[in-house]
Chain A
Amino acid sequence: MSDALLQARGLTKRYGARLACADVSFDLDPGEVLAIVGESGSGKSTLLSLIATELQPNSGSVSYRMRDGILRDLGLLSEAERRALMRTDWGFVRQDAAKGLRMAVSAGGNVGERLMGAGARHYGTIRGTALDWLAKVEIAADRVDDPPTRFSGGMRQRLQIARNLVTGPRLVLMDEPTSGLDVSVQARLLDLIRGLVAELGLAVIIVTHDLAVARLLSHRVMVMRAGRVIETGLTDQVLDDPREPYTQLLVSSVLAA
């Protein structure tokens, strides 16, 4: 049963003597949402960067099923192929919106730029599609020409989502997309993400330290500590019946509202 969209095998990354990511392997199916949880320094963001090919692993590989159905080792793609893939079939929603957006360009331009990067040329179509997507992420039409510097934190994250989803990607990586936002803003963003993921059948790998986010969005969860995956499984099973001491500590440390 090898119809996985993405396969990670033995991903390992060292910084000097420190293992940031140790021998991580997993499969992700189309439409599946995988949460990677752990505290700061657990290696979860390093793992995401390895998956996104922004970091080179010391060993291990990431393979992805391209739109032609063939599974290819991302480490063996040409730079042009890799960039084309990231611009169209993958999205990356970052914790820091300034790293995922062009802060000096209008909201409409941020979305349109990604469409042009994917090959769209007709101005009217680009503008129309950008407006549709901004409406989907609840950005009012009268803010389309404003740059994200004038947006609140929650709006910036919604703009990142529109910019990433406008090309119809099959896989979206998310790095702590809701942290640093007020809780009411978080709830709105999570609800938006949840709706879009279900509607579009997206595969998602989401890194979060927030177990409630993992529970709300993900099918499966991987718990990381000191660079290693220490527990993995069905999200509600890992959170309701955690087996490892560290997972029990994480789960029991959450304050119930």
Chain B
Amino acid sequence: MNPALEFRDVAKTFTLHLRGGVQLPVMGGADLAVHPGECVVLGGPSGAGKSSLLKMAYGNYRCDHGQILVRDGETVVDVASASPRAILALRRRTISYVSQFLRVIPRVGAREVVAAAGREGGLPADIALVRAEELLSRLNLPERLWDLPPATFSGGEQQRVNIARGLIAERPILLLDEPTASLDAQNRAVVVDLIRARQAAGAALLGIFHDTDVREAVATRVVDVTAFAQTRAA
């Protein structure tokens, strides 16, 4: 079977022009394939480039070298060279990304934040609203908070809104950047169930999980990204 997401010889270096052009090599020669139904967990110390890999796959960071191939229905898109419009189309129908932090929008309530993500992913408005409520209930976000903007929520509450946003439209590729970092054990277990359900439904998952219990519960494979450390001198 073809992978849903594949990194081929990917390299990334940050150039800090405000620091005299200092070069920060993040990785080089990164090869990794994620197949449908797999949950690949990235391992390695912080600063090894785990988040950068996810952000490159989402088009949030540029990729300096190599290819990042995303299967999009019958075609394959190289995120490393795709136009902004092509990347936005992938985000609508193919790739979800759950970051650690919710980017809050003033004045928009939690339920609407989640439902809007569903509509952007192609769900009809009424279904998006129902799904948003189901997910927020499942994630134990008290109903009295649903109409409030998440700006004032605790870290864990914001994170649950963010997870609901990332999961509402069921896209074939799911990128997870420490989705359980600020959650208690009960809510971590809910997230594990949600992740396993997406995996069982055939989604390809690539994630970072620092909690050992979560990692062991969801990982089909752990890849140590220190193997991708840049050897080419920057």
**Contacting pair A188 B18 (CB below 8 A):** no
Docked complex: A184-216 residues within 8 A CB-CB of B: 187-188, 190-191, 194, 216
Q: Looking across the interface, which residue of chain B has its beta carbon closest to that of A234?
A: B84
**Contacting pair B60 A29 (CB below 8 A):** no
- Given A29-B85, A234-B84, A237-B60, do A245 and B17 touch, yes or no (CB 8 Å)? yes
**Contacting pair A245 B18 (CB below 8 A):** yes
A-B contact list, 10 entries, CB within 8 Å: A188-B106, A194-B105, A233-B84, A237-B87, A240-B55, A241-B14, A241-B62, A244-B17, A248-B16, A248-B17
Chain B residue numbers with a CB within 8 Å of A240 are 55, 60-61
B88: interface (CB < 8 Å) = yes
A127: interface (CB < 8 Å) = no
Docked complex: A212-257 residues within 8 A CB-CB of B: 216, 219-220, 233-234, 236-237, 240-241, 243-245, 248-249, 252
**Contact of B61 (CB < 8 Å), options: A188, A190, A219, A241:** A241
B197: interface (CB < 8 Å) = no
- By a beta-carbon cutoff of 8 Å, the part of chain B in contact with chain A is 14-18, 55, 59-62, 84-85, 87-88, 105-108
Chain A residue numbers with a CB within 8 Å of B87 are 234, 237
Chain B residue numbers with a CB within 8 Å of A191 are 105-108
CB distance from B178 to the nearest CB of A (A): 17
- Given A219-B84, A248-B17, A249-B18, do A236 and B108 touch, yes or no (CB 8 Å)? no
- Given A248-B16, A248-B17, do A237 and B62 touch, yes or no (CB 8 Å)? yes
**Contacting pair B84 A188 (CB below 8 A):** no
**Contact of B59 (CB < 8 Å), options: A32, A188, A234, A252:** A234
Q: Looking across the interface, which residue of chain B has its beta carbon closest to that of A29?
A: B85
- Given A187-B106, A191-B105, do A248 and B61 touch, yes or no (CB 8 Å)? no
Report the Cα distance A240→B105, complex, angstroms. Answer: 18
Report how many residues on chain A are interfacial, defined by Cβ distance under 8 Å: 22
Report the Cα distance A10→B108, complex, angstroms. Answer: 40
User: In the complex, how many residue pairs between chain A and chain B have their CB atoms under 8 Å apart?
Assistant: 48
Chain A residue numbers with a CB within 8 Å of B85 are 29, 32, 219
Chain A residue numbers with a CB within 8 Å of B108 are 191
Chain A residue numbers with a CB within 8 Å of B105 are 191, 194, 216
**Contacting pair A187 B107 (CB below 8 A):** yes
Q: Which 3 A-B pairs have the closest CB atoms?
A: A245-B17, A187-B106, A234-B84
Report the Cα distance A174→B88, complex, angstroms. Answer: 23
Report the Cα distance A241→B61, complex, angstroms. Answer: 5
**Contacting pair A219 B88 (CB below 8 A):** yes
Chain A residue numbers with a CB within 8 Å of B17 are 244-245, 248-249
Chain A residue numbers with a CB within 8 Å of B60 are 236-237, 240-241
Report the Cα distance A219→B88, complex, angstroms. Answer: 8
Given A243-B15, A243-B62; 6 other pairs, CB 8 A cutoff: A187-B106, A188-B107, A191-B108, A219-B88, A237-B59, A241-B60
Report the Cα distance A25→B171, complex, angstroms. Answer: 34
Q: Looking across the interface, which residue of chain A has its beta carbon closest to that of B56?
A: A241
Chain B residue numbers with a CB within 8 Å of A220 are 84
CB distance from A56 to the nearest CB of B (A): 30
Report the Cα distance A243→B59, complex, angstroms. Answer: 14
Chain B residue numbers with a CB within 8 Å of A188 are 106-107
**Contacting pair B106 A190 (CB below 8 A):** yes
CB distance from A221 to the nearest CB of B (A): 9
